[in-house]
Amino acid sequence: MATANQTSARGARMPVRTIADRYELIEEIGSGGMGKIWRGYDSVLDREVAVKVIHPEMLLSLEHITDLAERFRREARVTARIQHHGVPQVYDAVLDADSADRLYLVMQYIDGRNLRSYIAPTDPLPIAWAAATAAQIATVLSHAHAIPVVHRDLKPDNVLVTGDGTVKVLDFGIAAILRRDITKITVTGSPVGTSRYMSPEQVNAAQVTPQSDLYALGCVLHELLSGTPVFNGNGQYELWKQHITGTPKPLRELRADVPPDLEKLVLDLLAKKPEQRPADAYTVYERLLPFLPSPGSPALATSSRLGEMPDPTLLYRQPNAPRRRTPRPSPVPAPPTVPQAPTTPPTQLRSAIDDALKRSTELLDSDRFAQAADVVDAVIGPAARMLGSESPDLLRLRFHRALILFLGGDSRTALPEFDALVDAYTRTAGPSSDRALQSRRYAAHCRANLGQNTVALDQFRQLLDDVASADSHASELALDIRYSIGMLLLSANDKTAAENVFESLYQDHLVINGPDDERTREIADLLTRIRLPSPHSSGIE
């Protein structure tokens, strides 16, 4: 790491700190819970950048520092797929060469102010402005959730308003970069997120889905309209309790001019159970439309204080719409079986299949998911034509491709293929075959990732019954299914049922894997958290 005196991108001569021999830190422009933000300069590509310096204490532990950069690259690849102007792109991650305990995230530079600076209890935003801000956020979420990418920490501090009123949502995926597994409890016993905007399932350190972001959006919209947060507990634990059990005060009791339908939308977003919230971000956008100005309408007169805030309705007076909702993919029907198809691939095809499986696995090791899927795709067509639609080799290729999509975070595309594979393996290998059971397992995981918790829970329970009948409740697959069932119950805030599942699972892991096994310790931590007394009963504030 070098330091030099150079002329900044804006002309002032000042000391410049350079990281990775490339990014010059020009001036500090902000700070937050995760670290400080600098305006910087990329000397290689000749462009301004924003550099976030992550506080060392935000990292899970120093023993994991060596895999931070790789985990960042994996998350950044997924985040880059959002492809929306409301999401600043992340360019690079740099570890401090001297102390090795500091992470620099290099991002697109956005000239704007965060939404927090425009919130005031005595002067809340006009209805149309609050609705337009929330609609822009919903637009961004519609693009992210289509992948799906979940933000996990949506709050006014992570929303920038630019000079033309455009909203930018910051820090997609950073929570996942800093934590090895977002579904696990952190070393401090605290879930990941910001207390005033955390969904009940995040407080419980349970399954995080797109509906978790919608809850946070409800918190933000409530605050924009009323000037005050949904809950004002004294301390973190009291806030957590309020998110889990508290009843939000209806907005019309705080501000009489809030339309009833807008109040209802906020209350729906703040539903305790994820599946009781709006179906998706596009639904939220549609419900906000009646409160947005029509195309060609004049700007709304505002207070002198709000004269500092760029008008967020501009995009709707000069229309800008979110990503259109794409129809849910239908299960892929099995193509008709080719009569008298050979069961053994010819030598050339066998070589192509082996090479595709080997090459795609190598690409997976580098987290290059899209390219890995393309490599398998290239051989699936020829294999289907030569071997038949349900030959073991073709089904193996299809399963491998579906698994790549799942591991790459594309549960939406993987789901119909796993559903089709369940049918195909049931017909060709039997309902109790390993691949039929594994396909059912991954289909349930896909549904859980997409927020279809009730259906996923039913599928996991049916699968557990079948696995236990064929083997036992203590097989490796059964243990994994039981863990998934417990996490979904925890996500639904059914702590009693979740505790029963995890207690039985913990006892089996003790016998099979021992007390020092990572999953055994993880389940013990979950049980400890579930059994913690409520903040109210313990007097914690």
Nearest CA among 285, 335, 27, 12 for reference residue 143:
285
**CA–CA dist 525, 514 (Å, integer):** 15
Phi/psi-derived region of residue 34, left when phi > 0, alpha when psi is between -120 and 50, beta in every other case: alpha
Predicted confidence at residue 318, as pLDDT, reads 81
The full set of domains in the chain, from first to last, is: 2-108 (3.30.200.20), 112-317 (1.10.510.10), 327-421 (no CATH), 452-541 (1.25.40.10)
**CA–CA dist 217, 201 (Å, integer):** 15
State how far the alpha carbon of 378 is from the alpha carbons of 311, 385, 416, 452, in Å: 49, 13, 19, 32
Predicted confidence at residue 55, as pLDDT, reads 64
Provide, rounded to the nearest whole percent, the portion of the chain with pLDDT above 90.
53
Residue 46 appears among annotated catalytic residues: no
pLDDT by residue (tens digit) across 472-511?
Answer: 889 999 999 999 999 999 999 999 999 999 999 999 999 9
User: Can you tell me whether residue 133 is helix, strand or coil?
Assistant: helix
Cβ contact 298:121 at 8 Å: no
In the DSSP assignment, the letter for residue 300 is P
Amino acid of residue 344: T
CB atoms near residue 163 (< 10 Å): 9
Predicted confidence at residue 180, as pLDDT, reads 39
Q: Indicate whether 52 pLDDT > 90.
A: no
Predicted confidence at residue 253, as pLDDT, reads 95
Model confidence at 181, pLDDT cuts 50, 70, 90, reads very low
pLDDT by residue (tens digit) across 275-299?
Answer: 999 999 999 999 999 999 998 888 8
Predicted confidence at residue 275, as pLDDT, reads 94
Q: Indicate whether 65 pLDDT > 80.
A: no
Q: Indicate whether 24 pLDDT > 70.
A: yes
Q: Indicate whether 343 pLDDT > 60.
A: no
Model confidence at 186, pLDDT cuts 50, 70, 90, reads very low
- 21, 98, 101, 153: the catalytic one is 153
Question: How far is C-alpha 364 from the geometric centre of its chain's CA atoms?
Answer: 20
Q: Which residue has the higher pLDDT, 336 or 419?
A: 419
Q: Indicate whether 313 pLDDT > 80.
A: yes
Model confidence at 83, pLDDT cuts 50, 70, 90, reads confident
Amino acid of residue 364: L
What average pLDDT does the chain have? Answer: 84
Q: Indicate whether 335 pLDDT > 60.
A: no
pLDDT by residue (tens digit) across 366-397?
Answer: 888 888 898 899 899 999 999 988 899 999 99
> What integer is the mean pLDDT of 93-118?
80
Cβ contact 534:241 at 8 Å: yes
Which residues are registered as beta bridge partners of 92? 106
**CA–CA dist 205, 522 (Å, integer):** 12
Model confidence at 79, pLDDT cuts 50, 70, 90, reads confident
Predicted confidence at residue 54, as pLDDT, reads 72
Model confidence at 122, pLDDT cuts 50, 70, 90, reads confident
Q: Which pTM value belongs to this model?
A: 0.77
Q: Which range is least confidently modeled, 244-253, 438-447, 466-475? A: 466-475
**CA–CA dist 23, 18 (Å, integer):** 5
**Pairing state of beta strands 90-95 and 112-114?**
unpaired
Which of 60-69, 332-341, 367-376, 518-527 has maximum average pLDDT?
518-527
Q: Indicate whether 324 pLDDT > 80.
A: no
**CA–CA dist 342, 388 (Å, integer):** 8
Predicted confidence at residue 432, as pLDDT, reads 92
Predicted confidence at residue 296, as pLDDT, reads 86
**CA–CA dist 90, 86 (Å, integer):** 13
**CA–CA dist 155, 159 (Å, integer):** 7
